[in-house]
Amino acid sequence: MKILVIEDEPRIAADVSAALKTAGMVVDVVGDGEEAWFRGDTETYDAAVLDLGLPSLDGLTVLKRWRAGGNRLPVLILTARGVWTERVEGINAGADDYLPKPFETEELVARLRALLRRSTGQAAPVLTAGGLSLDTRQMRIALDGTPVALSPLEYRLMAFLMHHAGRVVASTELAEHLYGSGNERDPNAIEVIVARLRRKLGSNVIETRRGFGYVVQDREE
């Protein structure tokens, strides 16, 4: 899952970025409100962590502009403004969650994971699809109860497909969510990762819909 972290304090931005990467996410960091507004509108992210006190354009204005333009990007507000009226203002502007500073990175990661699950219609922290189970807290996947060792890229690809179980995902969309902005992307990389996953999890776990993309069927199919 690909996260946009918008924070102008370098130390906090670095701490948040490190925690999210350790939790298996891809992270882009910006520290300016204008750039954040542009990036959130022109690039693909699964969620944003948004500070309110930003230079050039404050976070609340960024959020309002996204929502006014129809951008439904899930947003967790992260700010030193702890007054309850400001929290209400943020929620009313379209934020999905709110975490005041100072905070524990473990809570931030837990809240963001829950936000990502809700945004894709998933309720439980353990995602299931057929004989597969993926524990989003431990970043572990099992097939018929047996743990399977995955590389970070393999885990991120399976996590994205299982968050969107039942939906066909194009290889271009997968690439957008697996790599940070500006990274070189081999056009064949997704196919290679899928092939490795099939060797580990079985040939039928990830289906190819020729000309459309890949799908992991949800548990009801």
Query: Mean of the pLDDT values across residues 152-181?
Result: 91
At residue 81, the pLDDT reads 63
Cβ contacts of 112-115, under 8 Å, gap ≥ 24: 112/3, 112/20, 112/23, 112/25, 112/47, 112/49, 112/76, 113/23, 113/137, 115/47, 115/74, 115/76
pLDDT digits (tens, 9 = 90+) for 56-93: 999 999 999 999 999 999 999 987 766 777 778 888 99
Between residues 101 and 2, the one the model is more confident about: 2
Cβ-based burial of 169 (10 A; exposed 0-12, middle 13-18, buried ≥19): buried
Q: In the chain, which residues fall in CATH 1.10.10.10?
A: 126-215
pTM here?
0.88
CA 32, 71, 97, 47 dihedral sign is negative
CB 131, CB 162: distance < 8 Å: no
DSSP-derived letter for residue 8 is S
Does the pLDDT value for residue 221 go beyond 50? Answer: no
Cα–Cα dist 123/118, whole Å: 6
Helix (H, G, I), strand (E, B) or coil at 90: helix
Query: Mean of the pLDDT values across residues 146-171?
Result: 93
Domain 2-119 sits in CATH at 3.40.50.2300
At residue 219, the pLDDT reads 52
CB 181, CB 43: distance < 8 Å: yes
pLDDT digits (tens, 9 = 90+) for 131-144: 899 999 999 999 99
At residue 185, the pLDDT reads 65
Q: Which CATH class is domain 126-215?
A: mainly alpha
Between residues 184 and 196, the one the model is more confident about: 196
CB 71, CB 107: distance < 8 Å: no
Q: In the chain, which residues fall in CATH 3.40.50.2300?
A: 2-119
What integer best gives the mean pLDDT of the chain?
A: 90
**Bridge partners for 51 per DSSP:** none
Q: Is the peptide bond before 102 cis (omega within 30 degrees of 0)?
A: yes
